[in-house]
Chain A
Amino acid sequence: MHILYPLVVAALLFSIGVYGVLARRNAILVLMSVELMLNSVNLNLVTFDVWLRDRLHGGQVLTLFTIVIAAAEIGLGLAIVLLVFRNRESIDVDRLRALAESDAEPPADSVVERQGPAGQGDQVAVSSRRAPQ
């Protein structure tokens, strides 16, 4: 099989993954897209391993690494998303803006009186303990 087929598939998968990371609002979908990107990379690695006839099979070894790391990362990621849902009732990435720089000017008074970046950028939904699903 020509090398181009798996490469193109990997590229397509990667692009879909990038689209998902940048444009989807649901945090879980973002994580899924990250997985897609990682797997497309895996495909690439295996393809080149076979094509270059690597004696040490570096590509396939790296693929195993990537799978493990992806698994660890998805575990943590899903745990964080779960906690966020519990605290804020939503996992809409667009709504999680607590770290944004606000537009409120610090008081024009002397430099001494200046507080930290004033105000919170986003309303924090009242947290209520929800039972895990």
Chain B
Amino acid sequence: MILLAMLAVPLAGALLLLVPGLRQNRLHGTVVSGITLILALAAALAFDHGNPRMQLEVDRAWAPAIGLRFHLGVDGISLPLVVLTALLTFLCFLYLLRHPAAGGASPALLTALLLVLEVGMLGTFVALDLVLFFVFFEVVLIPMYVVIAVWGGPGRRAAAYKFILYTLLGSGVLLVGLLLVGVNAGTLDMVELAARHGEGLSRGMQITAFLLIGLGLAVKAPMWPLHTWLPDAHTEAPTVGSVLLAGVLLKMGTYGLVRLALPLAPEGAEFWAPWLGLLAVIGIIYGALACLAQSDLKRMIAFSSVGHMGFVLLGIATLTPVGVNAALFGNIAHGLITGLLFFLAGAIKERYGTGDLDELGGGMLAKAPRLAAILTFACVASLGLPGLAGFWGEMLALLGAYQPGAGLPRETFVTFMVFGGLGAVLTAAYFLRMLAKITHGTPADGPVVAGVTRHEYAAWVPLITLTIVIGLWPKLILDLTSAPVRALLGGG
């Protein structure tokens, strides 16, 4: 019931905005997302940590003629993502209270869109039926499109179009793959299909299914070379749009790979894993090199997402418990850290009026010391410093690549590991270059830069704290994910 309430509250909140009286209420979005966050935390508290099975399940018949059921549930894999989504949405609303998105349309519309987006994001992570998963997966596209197209930067129309058409194409391919599996296996239920580990599907069918599902999700992840929608979408989106896009939407792709592609078509996974690993590693190096040459702050952070997701995909490609653990950990870490980075980029753009590195000049540590300090912290966390959340995902992915799953070519994966390591060095290079460019040096004379406001602190401090806590105590996440991952991969 908690999950049903958690999905119903944002939906009701969005619909309530049709009531004229509530439309003027500035706190509506914050309150609704706050209630959702409380429900998500309640679900986390009600969760039995030792139990690797699905919990808090809701299972109702929806369209019996095609075997479609309204089946929701969480386990150790989806619970952290659910809490992350609820938290990020709430923080976005807190941020919007004081820093409304620039653009002509009404704030009530933005609130409604973000709430519908939240329903879609939360639903994707708790859905346990193939078509239901797809429905929620698609729900997020239109609101995000509208958010980018109406409140975005100068190139917003083209970026929004590219975003929605590209991801819709991926979704189409994904749907074909899901239906292929569902029809051939006779059931649409994810738990049932995962327990079967691909029995009943021929090897060729599994390979095709993994290819289709994988391609569809790879557009979302994003995997090189299907990543080109990301830099434009991130650069043009407003701050809250970028935060949710990077913080949650990208996770839907990799979560789908773990939840759908791996258990439903294990032989397909084994066949395609080296290719997935290759594209992941290319993404890591490519993303890092592209960042080195960027001159726009948001675009650079967008390419860094490509690199980080490359590590996540590499972890998945190893088909080992440690690799998938690394992927799930990396998901959470990236959501927290890159969410924070986009918040900061938005704050910088708001104060300086530009996101261009050359125009920003240097000396932010002198002009806006707190902002620069938090930016430094976020960059250091993002480059994978041990002791902060980003490290464990990357390190465990490399460890997984060193010892990939049975049936995978070891030398290939060790080569991937080496290039992944090089990618880590390049990541450090571009973040430090960016920090040196804007925070060091003496500032140019100019207007005084506003300090960090209370609402910004309220939005950022939870992310900073969680980054440090998870970095110092990775057990929090690894304890949750270890048992379900082992079950998912067919182990004991």
Contact mask for chain A residues 95-133; partner B; CB cutoff 8 A; 1 contact, 0 none: 000000000000000111000000000000000000000
Complex: chain B residue closest to A112, CB-CB: B157
Complex: chain B residue closest to A111, CB-CB: B161
Complex: chain A residue closest to B161, CB-CB: A111
Residues of chain A contacted by B157 (CB below 8 angstroms): 110, 112
Contact mask for chain B residues 161-176; partner A; CB cutoff 8 A; 1 contact, 0 none: 1000000000000000
Residues of chain B contacted by A111 (CB below 8 angstroms): 158, 161
Smallest beta-carbon distance B164→chain A, Å: 11
Contact mask for chain B residues 147-167; partner A; CB cutoff 8 A; 1 contact, 0 none: 000000000011001000000
- From 45 to 77 in chain A, residues with beta carbon under 8 angstroms from any chain B beta carbon are none
Residues of chain B contacted by A112 (CB below 8 angstroms): 157
Residues of chain A contacted by B161 (CB below 8 angstroms): 110-111
Residues of chain A contacted by B158 (CB below 8 angstroms): 110-111
Complex: chain A residue closest to B155, CB-CB: A110
Interface size class of chain B, counting residues whose CB lies under 8 Å from the partner chain = under 10
Contact mask for chain B residues 196-225; partner A; CB cutoff 8 A; 1 contact, 0 none: 000000000000000000000000000000
Smallest beta-carbon distance B232→chain A, Å: 13
Smallest beta-carbon distance A112→chain B, Å: 5
Smallest beta-carbon distance A127→chain B, Å: 41
Smallest beta-carbon distance B150→chain A, Å: 13
Complex: chain A residue closest to B158, CB-CB: A110
Question: Given the complex of chains A and B, what is the CA–CA distance between A22 and B161 in angstroms?
Answer: 45
Question: Given the complex of chains A and B, what is the CA–CA distance between A112 and B157 in angstroms?
Answer: 8
Question: Given the complex of chains A and B, what is the CA–CA distance between A112 and B159 in angstroms?
Answer: 12
Question: Given the complex of chains A and B, what is the CA–CA distance between A111 and B161 in angstroms?
Answer: 9
Question: Given the complex of chains A and B, what is the CA–CA distance between A111 and B157 in angstroms?
Answer: 9
Contact mask for chain A residues 6-49; partner B; CB cutoff 8 A; 1 contact, 0 none: 00000000000000000000000000000000000000000000
Smallest beta-carbon distance B287→chain A, Å: 27
Smallest beta-carbon distance A109→chain B, Å: 10
Complex: chain B residue closest to A113, CB-CB: B157
- From 39 to 82 in chain B, residues with beta carbon under 8 angstroms from any chain A beta carbon are none
Question: Given the complex of chains A and B, what is the CA–CA distance between A110 and B158 in angstroms?
Answer: 7
Question: Given the complex of chains A and B, what is the CA–CA distance between A32 and B158 in angstroms?
Answer: 54
Question: Given the complex of chains A and B, what is the CA–CA distance between A112 and B161 in angstroms?
Answer: 9
Question: Given the complex of chains A and B, what is the CA–CA distance between A19 and B227 in angstroms?
Answer: 57
Question: Given the complex of chains A and B, what is the CA–CA distance between A110 and B159 in angstroms?
Answer: 11
- From 312 to 353 in chain B, residues with beta carbon under 8 angstroms from any chain A beta carbon are none
Smallest beta-carbon distance B79→chain A, Å: 41
Complex: chain A residue closest to B149, CB-CB: A112
Residues of chain B contacted by A110 (CB below 8 angstroms): 157-158, 161
Question: Given the complex of chains A and B, what is the CA–CA distance between A111 and B158 in angstroms?
Answer: 8
Smallest beta-carbon distance B236→chain A, Å: 13
Smallest beta-carbon distance A19→chain B, Å: 47
Question: Given the complex of chains A and B, what is the CA–CA distance between A112 and B158 in angstroms?
Answer: 9
Complex: chain A residue closest to B157, CB-CB: A112
Question: Given the complex of chains A and B, what is the CA–CA distance between A110 and B232 in angstroms?
Answer: 15
Smallest beta-carbon distance A42→chain B, Å: 50
Smallest beta-carbon distance B290→chain A, Å: 24
- From 356 to 392 in chain B, residues with beta carbon under 8 angstroms from any chain A beta carbon are none
Smallest beta-carbon distance B476→chain A, Å: 46
Smallest beta-carbon distance B152→chain A, Å: 13
Smallest beta-carbon distance B155→chain A, Å: 9
Question: Given the complex of chains A and B, what is the CA–CA distance between A23 and B158 in angstroms?
Answer: 48
Question: Given the complex of chains A and B, what is the CA–CA distance between A105 and B157 in angstroms?
Answer: 21
- From 72 to 100 in chain B, residues with beta carbon under 8 angstroms from any chain A beta carbon are none
Smallest beta-carbon distance B105→chain A, Å: 17
Smallest beta-carbon distance B51→chain A, Å: 50
Smallest beta-carbon distance A107→chain B, Å: 14
Smallest beta-carbon distance A106→chain B, Å: 15
- From 125 to 163 in chain B, residues with beta carbon under 8 angstroms from any chain A beta carbon are 157-158, 161
Question: Given the complex of chains A and B, what is the CA–CA distance between A132 and B333 in angstroms?
Answer: 82
Question: Given the complex of chains A and B, what is the CA–CA distance between A112 and B160 in angstroms?
Answer: 11
Smallest beta-carbon distance A114→chain B, Å: 12
Question: Given the complex of chains A and B, what is the CA–CA distance between A110 and B155 in angstroms?
Answer: 11
Question: Given the complex of chains A and B, what is the CA–CA distance between A95 and B299 in angstroms?
Answer: 55
Question: Given the complex of chains A and B, what is the CA–CA distance between A111 and B164 in angstroms?
Answer: 13
Question: Given the complex of chains A and B, what is the CA–CA distance between A78 and B157 in angstroms?
Answer: 51
Complex: chain A residue closest to B162, CB-CB: A111
A–B complex contacts, Cβ < 8 Å, 6 sampled: A110-B157, A110-B158, A110-B161, A111-B158, A111-B161, A112-B157
B-side residues, CB < 8 A to A, are 157-158, 161
A-side residues, CB < 8 A to B, are 110-112
Top 6 A-B pairs, shortest CB-CB distance: A112-B157, A110-B158, A111-B161, A110-B157, A110-B161, A111-B158
